[in-house]
Amino acid sequence: MLLKGKNVVITGSGRGIGRAVAIACAREGANVGLMSRTIEELNTLRDKIKNDYPDVKVVIAVADVTKIDDQTKAFTQYSEELGKLNGVIANAGWSRMGDSHEFDSDKFAAIININILGVFNTFKAAYPYLNTANKNNKARFITTGSAIYPNIMVKFAAYAASKFGVVGLQKELAIEYKGKNISFNMVLPTMVDTRLLRGSKAGDGNKPPGVMSPNELDDYYTFLLSEQANLINNQLIQTFDAQEAIKFLQKSSIDKTSDWDSIASFLQEKSPKSFEKVKGYGALLKFLYSRS
């Protein structure tokens, strides 16, 4: 188990990517703190995790990530029931599309608030409870970004602005808290079969080609939370780049048990562009390849 006994909080875990990641963390032995605004979804997920993984603790908190008082209360509760936190995943997010000249300004503000202020509040509320005692096992702060950074999609001005914004936020925090035993990383998925992308059709079994299932992201998050990822910091992990590198390796003679040095020299020689994109998180790429 990658995360036995660790304590991990995931925002936006009532459904979608956050839900899948929460289940994956519990499967890997972590106690989990769940957060969203919908109690019914949190209760259902808590019951499922407790049933499937009876040894892990589950704490739920209804909170709006844009409200610092909600988050402070939630993180106090997580720490009282779980203890110091090894990892926090700022995942809650929202999006709407539309022509910019007609787009409702309150909706624009709401998207910016959830996707940027929400991440900031999560960090601020979590900070006192992060387990930063060990430089060989730093606390992890992981954000869910989006491949819309840097690949603009038309009619998503608010969402694009917000996801560009959290990249700046991560870069700032990584420098500001350098030396404090916290690592900051971002997973930037392409399209994922969730309500955010497909509305009520999410999970209907008819996702279009190229759309990922939420649980295809599990390994990214669980590995980044694990001790093996201690040295990965301030990375923007584009799932598209990682998947392209893995596809390339799959067509090669490189064994799946190879170490990162062998994988790196192979990629550097045969696919230098791909190497440049993934070299900052070699240990993760090696892990993803070994599981592919």
Binding site for ligand NAP (CB under 6 A): 11-12, 14-18, 36-38, 41, 64-66, 91-95, 114, 118, 144, 146, 189, 191-192, 194-197
The conformational region for residue 6 under phi > 0 = left, psi -120 to 50 = alpha, else beta, is beta
Minimum distance between the CB of residue 163 and ligand NAP, rounded to whole angstroms? Answer: 7
Minimum distance between the CB of residue 174 and ligand NAP, rounded to whole angstroms? Answer: 19
* Residue with smaller CB distance to ligand NAP, 5 or 208: 208
* Residue with smaller CB distance to ligand NAP, 12 or 165: 12
* Residue with smaller CB distance to ligand NAP, 71 or 131: 71
Minimum distance between the CB of residue 134 and ligand NAP, rounded to whole angstroms? Answer: 29
Minimum distance between the CB of residue 65 and ligand NAP, rounded to whole angstroms? Answer: 4
* Residue with smaller CB distance to ligand NAP, 165 or 282: 165
SS3 204: coil
The answer to whether the CB of 65 falls within 8 A of the CB of 11 is yes
* Residue with smaller CB distance to ligand NAP, 7 or 194: 194
SS3 243: helix
Burial of 202 (0-12, 13-18, 19+ CB in 10 A): middle
How far apart, in whole angstroms, are the C-alpha atoms of residue 49 and residue 55?
10
Angle of helix 218-225 versus helix 282-291 axis, rounded to 10: 130
How far apart, in whole angstroms, are the C-alpha atoms of residue 139 and residue 141?
7
Q: How many CB atoms neighbour CB 213 within 10 A? A: 14
Minimum distance between the CB of residue 197 and ligand NAP, rounded to whole angstroms? Answer: 4
